[in-house]
Amino acid sequence: MSTSEHLIESTRELLWERGYVGTSPKAIQERAGAGQGSMYHHFSGKPGLALAAIQRTAEEMRAKAETQFTAPGTAVERITAYLLRERDVLRGCPIGRLTQDPDVMADPVLRRPVEETFAWLRRRLAEILAEGRARGELDDGLDPVTTAATLVATLQGGYVLARAAGSAEPFDQALTGLLGLLAGHAADAGHPAV
């Protein structure tokens, strides 16, 4: 791995663990095993490095989600696979946690990949749900856009509840509720598609 890659990966980890303010250039350099000169050779400073790290995290999150979203199966099966994939629940979502960082949210450049990632996720889920409705897998009473927003909000809220409780149980309960919501709109659940 190149020095710039070590710096990006170290920044990603530190942002997830400590937030933007707690991620000092010195901590990044120590974690990456790189000197100050190397950091400023590859990046304009902490904001540039943080942006590269946030963008990398966002790209990784999208790629992982696309694995489930493009897999064979019904809309509900693909969304279920996404919801039930392995996650480090007590650490929280690496993108979602950035929304709680006032310094990231106050900087339009750093906020942009966070905002774009959640917009992309809502859009992709809405597309899959609309596809499921069009194929008769989901009843016409399901609104793809609002249901997608509900899925993302509940998933992110599940992380918050789990972290507050120090247990994955609230997260698991939130997912069970989401899966029940989707099952209630399955065309074969007594709500035939029209």
How far from chain centre, in Å, is Cα 10?
19
Q: Which of 128, 118, 102 lies closest to 156, judged by CA?
A: 118
Distance, in Å, from the CA atom of 91 to the CA atom of 166, rounded to the nearest integer, reads: 10
CA distances from 101 to 22, 117, 137 (A): 10, 16, 39
Residue 178 within any structural domain of the chain: yes
List the structure tokens of 35: 């000197």
Query: What is residue 65's predicted lDDT score, i.e. its pLDDT?
Result: 97
Q: How many domains does the chain have?
A: 1
Residue 1 within any structural domain of the chain: no
Residue 61 within any structural domain of the chain: yes
Q: Which of 42, 62, 54, 56 lies closest to 110, judged by CA?
A: 54
Instruction: Give the angle subtended at the CA of 32 by the CAs of 27 and 38, to the nearest 5°.
Output: 95
Average pLDDT over residues 39-44: 76
Residue 188 has pLDDT above 80, yes or no: no
Residue 139 within any structural domain of the chain: yes
**Confidence band (pLDDT; 50, 70, 90) for 193?**
very low
Q: Amino acid identity of 59? A: E
Backbone phi, then psi, for 71, in 5-degree steps? -70, 160
Residue 46 within any structural domain of the chain: no
Handedness of CA 95, 96, 97, 100 (dihedral sign): positive
Give the predicted TM-score (pTM) of the model. Answer: 0.88
* Structural domain span for residue 63: 57-184
- For 46-63, how does the pLDDT look when each residue is reduced to its tens digit (9 = 90+)? 888 999 999 999 999 999
Residue 147 within any structural domain of the chain: yes
Query: What is residue 194's predicted lDDT score, i.e. its pLDDT?
Result: 38
Query: What is residue 189's predicted lDDT score, i.e. its pLDDT?
Result: 53
Which residues, listed in sequence order, are joined to residue 40 by a DSSP beta bridge? none
Residue 116 within any structural domain of the chain: yes
Lowest mean pLDDT among 2-6, 81-85, 123-127, 153-157: 2-6
Task: Share the mean pLDDT of the chain.
Answer: 91
Q: Which CATH number belongs to the domain containing residue 135 in this structure?
A: 1.10.357.10
Residue 30 has pLDDT above 50, yes or no: yes
Residue 62 within any structural domain of the chain: yes
